[in-house]
Structure 1
């Protein structure tokens, strides 16, 4: 099956003249009839995701839905919704017949089911990651429902993808439609926990797989009267399920500019110990870049150096040079004297990474 998909995708590339991307290996799962493949830009080699959908002719219903999804994804922008980059259509010869194929190019992502399997999280760390991810999807749904007056119509495991920083993002907008007061759906949480697809609406009431802290609000989402259903914005704001160390830590970092210096200092002094308790992969791929950005752009002060260097020490030497060293080089020119002093105090943790070439060509010490 994998070889078949690869051959189909590879064969279709030849007919796509205006797609400035190279289509690579397909993932084993995607939403609906779409194929989700890895891809790269022909311009600079940067990674992307490429989604493709084929129909027997231009009037195929799946293509009509796919075009709706493209239009919606192109115009709806939100941090928790998949970022659109490019789209095109092509007529592809398939033996003696011609097929119409739609392509959508997005930021590089991976199907949620495959990423969960790859991470292999267990126990509390798995539960915290699920909560963080669902918090992101709930915010995306809230944005669609409350700000755009739209309904996704199929929030499920397959309509969620994961970025390189392990953020969950919502996509699969083929059946996205205007909200009419009666069509709001709330199937997402149950299907993500059970990994099953709905065969009938009544299965929404099967809540055996849901965490107890999520259950009361989930049941309120299922009110038989649409006007009485729990608004998705209230789910994000008040649900006990979303209150855990991982969600709180990342949320604090994302609104760091709104915190005063006392709150920041307290947070960063606790962070080295807290980071030990959080999923290592998420700390390295999500929290570390947030720390680097905060230090570079001035929203984090000298106390943030300690957790930044501690987390950075968990990387390989090669990754350290890519993800940590550039930030340290920039900080030597910081206007914050406390940061410059802190760099010298911690130099034994990173000094060996500073080659003579780096010192001569990149480090600009501010006195």
Structure 2
């Protein structure tokens, strides 16, 4: 039958010109009304419709008409908000805000104590208004007369017998007994004397009794009858005494709803709860001082999670948003706002919070910016990608370069929250540029957090950027003077080992890791060893899969060739010679060695040599084929003066010569990578292989120059000594520059001055022996 009524009502509503569309039916138990969820046709907003079928309930039509009339005139925050009332020949409609019966939650006993106190405070305050201000009696206070709005607030309804005591013919006197289930909820004095006893008792006594029954229902889930009235089962201890006075049998001794509220609001009373205080203070939040606002927010933060979320979404959140944007609420109010906003659905968040968040990111207040960045993880899932990419991140970038370190640090941390909402172009371009700045920040904590951030967003970087950026960033952090920055670099390298190629691991990462093994901090040394082990394991594993050689396979050997040998013997140790392309058979070495350019020049010099000049020794090794002779000085001609003879070399100079030779050895090891054309030529060979320049003829006006004595081809030692000194004093040319040709070098080192008088050579060490002859008797080489 109920289904039929619902179908008929829906058909009528759909076929008529009613300003709403009726939806599903909502069960409200025994009532003269049928409740439906509905939507308004003009804006599509949600509403509820109470429908009364006149034909089916003609006897209760006066109750329905009384409810329609009272709903139009009674206005109070604790009363269901009526949007419209419609009367037709067949039905009465009361269109209200979207509500749900409180009896659902009461039967499930799903109401927390704090929420129950908050709701009862609202109902008691509404009854106080009806009794004292409106001089009326509700007459049907019970769980089925209370509804819950979308905001979670309790709203009083059920105005079927609501009557003003100023009216002589009040409906409650005549029709009070035909209210559904009246016998279970009727006060004892009415049961005995009828509804006319209201005139002989306090006006609020009827509603006070109903409030006591409602309290029992809320905390126990069901009210069976009059025998349960006054029982304190599950009633909060702080409320029990006042509750008993509401339910007393003597109507003159009952505590009115107004006095019940007054007792609950006393210091330490049962209505002194954070939720109730929040409700009262919320409307004046914009007018509060900073101290009062901070106290309000502290209470808001102290609210537990079992408080009604809908109330915070619908009532608290709009007030907080107004306070933040226009009332100077500051970061504390913003933090509470975003905490509530995190519980909104994506659609609700986009409608209520997203526009405000975008505007707040443009606010220059640093405290607000830090609060927004701190709470980004709570709201990032509800923010559309386009909004984050196009509107929020461009505002965030100013934080990377802000003068306040806390803003820079929080901006770096916030990257982790927004990274998944940013485009690849921004991530691999603009974002990395800003992170490169914070990686060199003057604050060590910011440098450390940048390293951590890069490690955690590594998977978001493109393949072409990832390895290059991360290797540079992490290896730089390993050299950071701040110990935690170095540790962050090691941990980041361990976490991102998979993003590097084997070549990067071996050629770039491992060399940077090695210094950490000797770090001054034990923490770094330990972590460095762990990280190094990870990379070595990977390198070794990859190396085991590589081919033995990258050289192409050799062609089959020809008949007249022998296989290449390893070294000059069967020595297989590290000291054995490298792979040689020569064969072991000497007979295979045939043909003539082609002379080099220097060899050609020496051969020409040999051809032009006078017969009296000794032959040129082309290299020190050539003397190895001659038997070693005892070198002695050549006999000097009698006609030669003592000043022309060379100065003997003393023992001290010989020692210095030996030291310089040792230095030359170390220099040679250091110059092993130089090109052949950068090596020094043999000064001794150059000096003896260069023809002596001719001296000019003396004139009458100039003093004759000292001419070397012509002894039939014997070299001039004094001239050679001067050339040798110049060659020794001249520094080596810089690396990479080509030296002059050997002909020019020989000419420079063999030049003898012919304009100055001949003097004794200075005491300078002389190296006239071949490189393999270390005899101190340098003069014997001319025998």
TM over 0.5: yes
Are 2:38 and 1:9 equivalent residues in the alignment?
Answer: no
Shift of 1:262: 0.7
Larger radius of gyration: 2
The equivalent residue for 1:112 is 102
Aligned pair in 2 of structure 1 residues 241, 303: CA closer, same or farther (>3 Å)? same
1:154 matched to 2:140: yes
SS at match of 2:237: coil
How many angstroms apart in 1 are the aligned matches of 2:118 and 2:233? 21
| Structure 1: distance between partners of 2:313 and 2:38 | 21
Is the CA contact (8 Å cut-off) linking 2:102 and 2:146 kept in structure 1? yes
1:285 to 279, 293, 313: 313
Counterpart residue number, 1:95 = none
Contact 2:64–2:160 (Cα < 8 Å) also in 1: yes
- Structure 1 stretch displaced more, 152-161 or 235-244: 235-244
The farther-off stretch of 294-303 and 19-28 is 294-303
Asked whether 1:56 is paired with 2:55, we answer yes
1:233 is aligned to 2:231: no
1:210 alignment partner in structure 2: 235
SS at the partner of 1:70? helix
Does residue 303 (structure 1) correspond to residue 332 (structure 2)? The answer is yes
Q: 1:139 aligns with which of 109, 114, 125?
A: 125
TM-score of the aligned structures, taking structure 2 as reference length:
0.40
C-alpha spacing 1:330/1:65, structure 2 compared with 1 (3 Å): farther
CA distance, structure 2, for counterparts of residue 25 and residue 339 of structure 1: 48
TM-superposed CA distance for 1:151, in Å, is 1.0
Q: Measure, in 1, the Cα distance between the counterparts of 2:286 and 2:260.
A: 25
Structure 1 distance, partners of 2:328, 2:122, is 23
Instruction: Please report how far the alpha carbon of residue 233 of structure 1 lies from its aligned counterpart in structure 2 after TM superposition.
Output: 2.2
**Kept in 2: contact 1:153–1:175 (CA 8 A):** yes
- Measure, in 2, the Cα distance between the counterparts of 1:191 and 1:144: 22
Moved more, 276-285 or 214-223: 276-285
Aligned to 1:43: 42
Distance 1:178 1:263 in 2: 41
- TM-score, length-scaled by structure 1: 0.80
Hey, what's the Cα distance between the residues in 1 that align with 2:155 and 2:329? 27
Contact 2:138 2:161 in 1 (8 A): yes
In the other structure, the counterpart of 1:96 is none
Shift of 1:101: 1.9
Alpha-carbon distance between aligned partners in 2 of 1:102 and 1:301, rounded to the nearest angstrom:
49
Deviation at 1:342, TM superposition (A): 5.2
**Cα RMSD (Å):** 3.5
Determine if contact 2:330/2:368 at 8 Å carries over to the other structure: no
Provide the residue aligned with 1:294 in structure 2.
323
Report the CA distance shift for 1:323/1:357 in structure 2 as closer, same or farther (over 3 A).
closer
Q: 1:226 to 1:127 in 2, by over 3 A?
A: same
The Cα shift of 1:329 comes to 3.7
Match in the other structure for 1:192: 218
- For residue 89 of structure 1, the aligned residue among 87, 106, 125 is 87
Contact 1:29 1:111 in 2 (8 A): yes
What SS does structure 2 have at the residue aligned with 1:56? coil
2:313 and 2:341 in contact (8 A); partners too:
no
Q: Quote the offset at 1:316 in angstroms.
A: 4.4
**1:33: how far off?**
1.6
Structure 2 residue runs of 5 or longer lacking an equivalent are: 166-198, 396-783
Instruction: Write the deviation string for residues 197-225 of structure 1: whole angstroms up to 9, x where unpaired.
Output: 5655x653344353332221122223555
**Corresponding position of 2:495:** none
The structural deviation recorded for 1:190 is 2.5
SS in 1 for 2:132: helix
Please give the secondary structure, in 1, of the residue aligned with 2:141: coil
Match of 1:19 in 2: 18
Deviates more, 1:227-236 or 1:28-37: 227-236
Runs of 4+ aligned residues of structure 1 deviating over 6 Å after TM superposition are 358-363
When residues 327 and 62 of structure 1 are mapped into structure 2, their CA distance, relative to the original with a 3 A threshold, is farther
The answer on 1:174 being equivalent to 2:202 is: no
**Pick aligned residue for 2:91 from 79, 95, 101:** 101
Match for residue 262 of structure 1? 291
Unaligned runs of 5+ in 1: 92-99
Residue matched to 2:342:
313
Q: 1:139 Cα deviation (Å)?
A: 1.1
- Once the two structures are TM-superposed, the CA of residue 351 in structure 1 deviates from its matched residue by 6.5
Question: Which has the larger strand fraction?
Answer: 1
Q: Call closer, same or farther: CA 1:258–1:221 in 2, change over 3 Å.
A: farther
| Aligned residues between the structures | 349
Bigger RCO of structures 1 and 2 (CA < 8 A, at least 6 apart) = 1
Secondary structure of the 2:88 match is strand
Deviation by residue 1:170-212 (Cα, 9 ceiling, x = unmatched): 0111100124554532223223334445655x65334435333
Question: Secondary structure in 1 aligned to 2:116?
Answer: helix
| Cα contact 1:332–1:343 (8 A) shared by 2 | no
